[in-house]
Structure 1
Amino acid sequence: MISVSKLLCGLDAESDGLRYDAADDSTEPQITEERQRRPVVVWNTTKRCNLYCEHCYAAADQTGAPGELSTAEGTALIDDLADFGVPVVLFSGGEPLVREDLTELVAYAADAGVRPVLSTNGTLLTRERARALKEAGLQYAGVSVDGLPERNDRIRGEDGAFDAAVRGIEACLDVGLKTGLRYTITEHNVDDLAGVVDLLVDVGVDRFCFYHLDYGGRGADIADVDLAPEATRQAVTDLCDLTREYHDAGEEIETLLVGNYADAGYLVEYADRELGTDRARLIRRHLERNGGDPTGERIADVDPVGNVHLTQFWQGYSPGNVRDRSFGAIWTDESNPLLAGLRDREERLTGACADCAYRDVCRGGSRLRALSAHGDPFAPDPKCYLTDAERAGAEAMRRIGGAEHRTGESSAD
């Protein structure tokens, strides 16, 4: 995740230590005081869902997957994650609220010292359910809304899904549970982005996570409606402008971009253009600490039947199953060539990524999109929207400074 509000507006957040190793500079209580050393783990607790979203990376449906982890296996997984030092477990799905034991699992994670958060479509959240989850120790609920009512309901395959999700958001806010929006941007809903933000700010939401489409699950089936690079660039520009407008008006909304680390390079360029070189230089330092695309390093996924994945979107490949080996043993086994390669990807990146001035803050972007588009996990991400001049970076690097220039090397070498 890249925090637009932190980088452009200086808004402190509880993840500053986790994401930027900047806990000492933040006024907010921190998830952790230092940049994460272990991955955040998304646990797809079930493949079952009451909706049928067109972009669902888990390809969820109403029947679920045979052999999903039981309550006992789930608590054993949480113990495993706690022993490995995982800072956060994100309960996801499918729709995690269809599991009757979700509150029990959340409480178990909280007691084990693993911060529990939730990703949900929100339609099953009542005030009673939200209160129980909060009392169990849930720290945050991210509710997926993908447009204003007509577009959202078409994308999510259910009339009334928008209104039900907003009721779920209101239920969380009523019981004091921190709640935010999750929004996957495609051609189908990009025009609703500002309207959804305006509406939910009025409801009381102050955290907005905007996801680029990754080509996993049903997301791969709609790659043809993914935004083209220039349209992506415009959407990111609009989000940056919108964030600044809200902050200038005194609304401290938190906005984040997820799933395309070309955003990192672009935010430096945007700041240099709109806010000046000093701000751009500070943003670049934060992004260097953040470390670029986290696939196979700072993000991991466990699917409903226990398979480990390199990111929640890359469900088609697994280096192992937690029923056979501990999560830690799977995650640290660099005899796996793909896992090892992703952790040393800078020397494997090809094409435009190989010589990009922002390689150290992007690290090639989505390896899943590269694989989907080119059949090579180290090929360029087709969603990169930086210009050739920005990738070359000579002028910006002279003004802003970067890893290459501070070590005396040329970004063009």
Structure 2
Amino acid sequence: MISISKLLCGLDAESDGLRYDAADRSAEPQITERKQRRPVVVWNATKRCNLHCDHCYAGSDADCAPGELTTAEAKGLLDGLADYGVPVVLFSGGEPLLREDLPELVAYAADRGIRPVLSTNGTLLTREAAAELKAAGLKYAGVSVDGLAERNDAFRGREGAFDAAVRGIEACLDVGLKTGLRYTITEANAPDLEGVVDLLADVGVDRFCFYHLDYGGRGADIADADLPPERKREAVRTLCDLTREYHARGEEIETLLVGNYADAGYLVEYARRELGADHAERIRAYLERNGGDPAGERVADVDPVGNVHLTQFWQGHALGNVRDRPFAAIWEDEADPLLSALRDRDGRLGGRCAECRYRSICRGGSRLRALRTTGDLFAPDPQCYLREEEIAPDAATPAGRAGDAAD
């Protein structure tokens, strides 16, 4: 994740230590005092879901996957993550609220010292459910809303899903559970971006996660619905502008970009144009510490039956299963050629990535998108929207070079 609000507006957040090794410069209580040494783990607690979203990376449906982890096995997984020093576990799905033992497992994670957070479609989040999860130790709920009512409901396969998700957000806020809104942009819902951001203010949410489409699960089936790179650039520019406008009015919305590390280079370019060279270089220093695309390093996934994946989007490639070996043993075993390649990608990146001046803060972006579209793991990410004059190794750094005038 890349925080627009932190980098452009200086908004402190509880993740400053985790992401930027900047806990000592943040006024907010921190998730951790130092940059993460272990991955954040997404656990797809079930494949079962009450919706059928077009972009679902897990390919969720109405039924559980055969052989999903039992409560006891899930606690064993959490024990392994805690022993390894995993800082955060994200309970995802499917729809994790369809697991009756979710509050019990959230409490178990919290008791073992792992920060439990939730990714949900929000439609099952009643006030009672939100209160129970908060009492169990849940620290944050991210609710997915992919556009305003008409587009969201079409995207998610159920009429009324938008209104139910908004009620879920309000239920979390009513019980004091920190809540954010998650939005994945496509051709279908791009016109709703500003309306979705305005929805935040209307319901009182102060965190917005803007996701780029990754080509995993059903997301691969709608890759042709992804925005062309220039329009993606326009959308990111809009979000940067909106964030600054809200902060100028005293509304401290936390906005984050997820899933395309071309955003890192773009934020440096944006800051240089709008805020000056010194601010741009401060942003670059933060992003150097952040480390670029985290696949296979700072993010991991465990699916409903215990298979470990490079990220939640790489469901088609398993590194091992926690029923056979502890998570730590699987994650540390670089005998897997794909895992080893991802951890040694810097010198292998080809095309425009090879000499890009932002390679150290991007690291080639999504290797999954590159692989799915070209068959080459080290080809450029097709969703890189940076311009040639911006990525050239000998590009000048002061404001005013070619391409700075407009997007």
Q: Could you tell me which residue of structure 2 aligns to residue 26 of structure 1? A: 26
Given that 2:54 and 2:155 are in contact with CA atoms closer than 8 Å, whether structure 1 keeps it comes out as: yes
Shift of residue 393 of structure 1? 4.5
String of CA shifts for 1:66-109, please: whole Å, max 9, x gaps: 00000000000000000000000000000000000000000000
User: Hey, what's the Cα distance between the residues in 1 that align with 2:207 and 2:61?
Assistant: 28
The residue correspondences of 1:3-402 to structure 2 (distance < 5 A) are 3-397=3-397
What letter is aligned with 1:128?
E
**The residue matched to 1:176 in structure 2 has which SS?**
coil
User: Hey, what's the Cα distance between the residues in 1 that align with 2:137 and 2:268?
Assistant: 37
String of CA shifts for 1:168-214, please: whole Å, max 9, x gaps: 00000000000000100001101101111112211110000010000
What letter is aligned with 1:180?
G
**The residue matched to 1:345 in structure 2 has which SS?**
coil
User: Hey, what's the Cα distance between the residues in 2 that align with 1:312 and 1:193?
Assistant: 24
TM-score (norm 1): 0.96
Given that 2:276 and 2:399 are in contact with CA atoms closer than 8 Å, whether structure 1 keeps it comes out as: no
String of CA shifts for 1:343-391, please: whole Å, max 9, x gaps: 1110111111111000000000001001101112111100000001111
What letter is aligned with 1:94?
G
Q: Give the total of aligned pairs.
A: 400
> Structure 2 stretches of 5 or more lacking a match?
401-407
String of CA shifts for 1:122-165, please: whole Å, max 9, x gaps: 00000000000000000000000001100000000000000000
Specify whether residues 10 and 318 from structure 1 end up closer, same or farther in structure 2 by C-alpha distance, changes over 3 A only.
same
**The residue matched to 1:13 in structure 2 has which SS?**
coil
Shift of residue 36 of structure 1? 0.3
**The residue matched to 2:219 in structure 1 has which SS?**
helix
Shift of residue 340 of structure 1? 1.5
User: Hey, what's the Cα distance between the residues in 2 that align with 1:121 and 1:81?
Assistant: 25
**The residue matched to 2:74 in structure 1 has which SS?**
helix
String of CA shifts for 1:222-268, please: whole Å, max 9, x gaps: 00110000000000000000000000011000000000000000000
User: Hey, what's the Cα distance between the residues in 2 that align with 1:293 and 1:211?
Assistant: 14
Specify whether residues 396 and 111 from structure 1 end up closer, same or farther in structure 2 by C-alpha distance, changes over 3 A only.
farther
Q: Could you tell me which residue of structure 2 aligns to residue 404 of structure 1? A: none
Given that 1:45 and 1:304 are in contact with CA atoms closer than 8 Å, whether structure 2 keeps it comes out as: yes
TM-score (norm 2): 0.97
What letter is aligned with 2:325?
R
Specify whether residues 397 and 320 from structure 1 end up closer, same or farther in structure 2 by C-alpha distance, changes over 3 A only.
farther
Provide the identity percentage.
77
**The residue matched to 1:347 in structure 2 has which SS?**
coil
Q: Could you tell me which residue of structure 1 aligns to residue 403 of structure 2? A: none
String of CA shifts for 1:298-343, please: whole Å, max 9, x gaps: 0000000000000001111011111111100000011222111111
Given that 1:140 and 1:179 are in contact with CA atoms closer than 8 Å, whether structure 2 keeps it comes out as: yes
User: Hey, what's the Cα distance between the residues in 1 that align with 2:140 and 2:79?
Assistant: 21
Shift of residue 395 of structure 1? 3.2
User: Hey, what's the Cα distance between the residues in 1 that align with 2:337 and 2:395?
Assistant: 37
Aligned-CA RMSD value: 1.0
Q: Which moved more, 1:337-346 or 1:104-113?
A: 337-346
What letter is aligned with 2:184?
T
Moved over 3 A (4+): 395-400
What letter is aligned with 2:205?
V
User: Hey, what's the Cα distance between the residues in 2 that align with 1:398 and 1:318?
Assistant: 45
Q: Which moved more, 1:193-202 or 1:263-272?
A: 193-202
**The residue matched to 2:346 in structure 1 has which SS?**
helix
What letter is aligned with 1:153?
D
**The residue matched to 2:83 in structure 1 has which SS?**
helix
Q: Could you tell me which residue of structure 2 aligns to residue 409 of structure 1? A: none
User: Hey, what's the Cα distance between the residues in 1 that align with 2:373 and 2:168?
Assistant: 37
User: Hey, what's the Cα distance between the residues in 1 that align with 2:375 and 2:225?
Assistant: 20
Q: Could you tell me which residue of structure 2 aligns to residue 410 of structure 1? A: none
Specify whether residues 267 and 396 from structure 1 end up closer, same or farther in structure 2 by C-alpha distance, changes over 3 A only.
farther
What letter is aligned with 1:166?
V
Given that 1:269 and 1:396 are in contact with CA atoms closer than 8 Å, whether structure 2 keeps it comes out as: no
What letter is aligned with 1:95?
E
Specify whether residues 396 and 304 from structure 1 end up closer, same or farther in structure 2 by C-alpha distance, changes over 3 A only.
farther
**The residue matched to 2:395 in structure 1 has which SS?**
helix
Shift of residue 398 of structure 1? 6.5
Given that 2:277 and 2:397 are in contact with CA atoms closer than 8 Å, whether structure 1 keeps it comes out as: no
Shift of residue 397 of structure 1? 4.0
User: Hey, what's the Cα distance between the residues in 2 that align with 1:65 and 1:186?
Assistant: 28
User: Hey, what's the Cα distance between the residues in 2 that align with 1:29 and 1:277?
Assistant: 30
